[in-house]
Structure 1
Amino acid sequence: MDSANPTGNGRHASGKAMPRCPLRPGDPCSLCVPGATGPHDCQTVRLVMEDPDLREMLREKQAAYRASTAA
């Protein structure tokens, strides 16, 4: 368990769901971009999703993460 996710189940200790970072598979959103309130308004996520090359790199990273967790 980490300090951002003390319960270890994808939820805050209060029971609220924690949004996942779409750019770091398996990690919760840490609000690393100033002004962002979650992945839905994160400028870094927007830039990656709008760029075809970066989006393809992200797909490869996500596939590698899924393969590593399935094994």
Structure 2
Amino acid sequence: MQVYRLLTEEDDAVFCHKVTEALTKGWELYGSPTYAFDPSTNKMRCGQAVVKEVSDDFVYDRDVKLGAL
């Protein structure tokens, strides 16, 4: 079974570190990154979807912290 996360952050090194951390924990890039202007902060934001294979025994629950998988 796969689980999915969308990582987002302002366009700075924090975003790159967030994605790199996910990759080191076994997450894989899913699709292309996205880049958009956030008018509420007047800054550009980045997004990257990531997926990870988990055991078929995994029981999904809305309260699960996906980043902890």
Instruction: Using structure 1 for the length normalisation, give the TM-score.
Output: 0.26
The structure where helix makes up a greater share of residues is 1
The structure where strand makes up a greater share of residues is 2
Instruction: Using structure 2 for the length normalisation, give the TM-score.
Output: 0.26
Higher RCO, 1 vs 2 (CA within 8 Å, ≥6 residues apart): 2
